[in-house]
Structures are given as structure tokens and as C-alpha cells.
Amino acid sequence: MITIISPAKGFNSFDYHDYNIIKKEDVSLPHFLENAKEIVGNLKSLDIDDICKLMKTNMEIGSLNYERYKDFKFDKNGIPAILAYEGMQYTAIKASDLNRNELFYANDHIRILSGLYGILSPLDSIYPYRLEMATRLAINKTKNLYEYWNNHIFEKIKNDLKSHDDKIILNLASDEYSRVIKKYLDNEATFVTCSFKAIKNNKLTTHSTISKPARGKMVNYIIKNRADDIETIKKFNYDGFSFHSEIVSKNEKIIELIFVKDVTIKPFSLIQR
């Protein structure tokens, strides 16, 4: 089983001198490095205004990323991907608390989808960037990143699954990122999406503030418990979330696991004194 997750917009600072679990020699280069170089080469041709418009950001963020891409690096001196991103999901993953064996397990079982790098293993060396998968960046004859990446990311996951007993892709990514996989699904792997919903006023709802921490905590659960099958995933319990139900396609190759918690405000009496 391989779990796919989304990246984040924020990045952590990192220094190997302050972190001795992973050494520089443990770090790898991203699989689609040449593609990333091509994308960066395209971005380097843009001015700050173009970047702001493309990424729908303000001038401050646009300027930051203009400078990033101007001197972008592709080497093993960057940050291991699982430790690089900063956001609600990654806070819940708690990668900096994982021991060496857990990090190497993660490296075999977790994949981070990326608009720039395509797909990342947790110990791949990356540098801070901003490029969402839905960005309409035209490269060569493609009009956006979905067209550019085509089926290459999916084929890489399929190849990685060859060394796994259970041919399962566990989807903990957002729709924006999982779309680059869903379009190319075949019958060789089972695609399982975990959905996190809250019961509020007798209705099932979902929101990124609910789903992102829950996804991150599930990644932590998978790594800590070496969860490698659907039944173990169903045992996940966090912050009131527990397995509720599942939806299975006719060919049993597409499954949605629904985890639910009740956040309904309990009725109370207002007593005047």
C-alpha cells in the first residue's frame, strides 16, 4: 500500500546540525528531476507581475517566488520533503518526532504529490517553492500542469507498488492533487479514499480545517503502526473521528472510507439570575 498526500504552501527552516536522525547521505533526488528543471526554466522567463497573476498571489509572495526560482537548486543539500512542508496536515504528521526506522518506512510507503516535482518520496531533497497542481502554466504544448504531468505520476506509483504485497493506493490528498491520479486508474490497483466528515446539526459536513489535521494524523498512524491494509486503516481513531461506513464500486477497485465525528453543540439551558 502506498499513501498519497498533498504538499503545503508553507515551508519550514531546516538545519542538519539541529537534526541528527537523518543524514545528508540518506537524502535522495526527486524522480522527475529533469521535469522539475524544465518547469523552473519556464518560470524563470516570467517577471514578478506574471508570477503574481499565474499564482494568484500578492506582490510580496510573488516577489519571494520570483527570487526563489531565479536561483533554484537541484541537489541533495535541500530539505527532506516530509520535513520541509509547513501546514495543518504536516503539523499533525509530526515528522520531526519520527525515529530513523519510521522515517525509512515512510519513505517506502508515503508519496507527496507536487505541481513542481510531480511526486516525492519523504526523503527526497527539495527547496521552497510555490506551484499548485491546478496552476495554468503552459509548458511546451501543454496548457496546464495536469496536461504536463499526464499519466507519469500514476505510472510511477504503479511501479513503486510492484514491491508491495497489497496493490492499494490510499488517497489522503485533496481533490486538486488526487485528480492527477484518478484520471488514469486501471484495474491493477485498488484506489481507496479516506473522507473525514463532521456531524453538525444532523448533517454531514467537511472542511479543510477538519480534514487536513485528520489526514496528517492518519499519516502518522500509518507510519507508527506500519498500517498496510484497509482493515488496519479502518481502526484509525483520532479527535473523535472513527470509521463510519464505506462506499465500494461495482468492481471493488474504488473505495471510499468515511470517518465521522460529532461536533453538534449540545443543547443547554440559559438560567437567568
Question: Mean pLDDT, to the nearest integer, of 18-42?
Answer: 95
Is the pLDDT confidence value at 219 over 90? yes
* Residue 273 pLDDT level (bands cut at 50, 70, 90): very low
Reading the block at residue 194, the C-alpha cell is 479516506
Write down the pLDDT at residue 263: 66
Predicted confidence (pLDDT) per residue in 147-170, tens digit: 999 999 999 999 999 999 999 999
Q: How far apart are CA 220 and CA 213, in angstroms?
A: 11
Q: Which residues contact 268 (CB under 8 A, 6 or more apart)?
A: none
Tell me what pLDDT residue 264 has: 61
Ramachandran assignment for 252, one of left (phi > 0), alpha (psi -120 to 50 degrees), beta (any other): left
> Given the C-alpha cell 506574471, which residue does it identify?
50
Give the mean pLDDT of 175-194: 96
| Domain range annotation of the chain | 2-14+30-262
State mean pLDDT over 99-112.
Answer: 98
For residues 37-50, give the mean pLDDT.
Answer: 97
- H/E run at residue 205: strand 203-205
Residue 74's pLDDT band, with cuts at 50, 70 and 90, is: very high
The pLDDT of 66-75, averaged and rounded, is 97
pTM confidence score:
0.94
- Tell me 173's DSSP state: S
Closest listed residue to residue 106, CA positions, set 243, 225, 16, 242: 225
Output the pLDDT for position 17. 78
Mean local confidence (pLDDT), 220-239: 96
How many angstroms separate the CA atoms of 109 and 164, rounded? Answer: 9
Q: How far apart are CA 105 and CA 136, in angstroms?
A: 35
What is the rounded average pLDDT of the residues 25-52? 97
- The residue whose grid cell reads 502554466 is 137
pLDDT of residue 268: 36
Eight-class DSSP state of 267: P
The pLDDT assigned to 271 comes to 34
Report the chain's mean pLDDT, rounded to a whole number: 94
Q: Are 184 and 154 in contact (CB under 8 A)?
A: yes
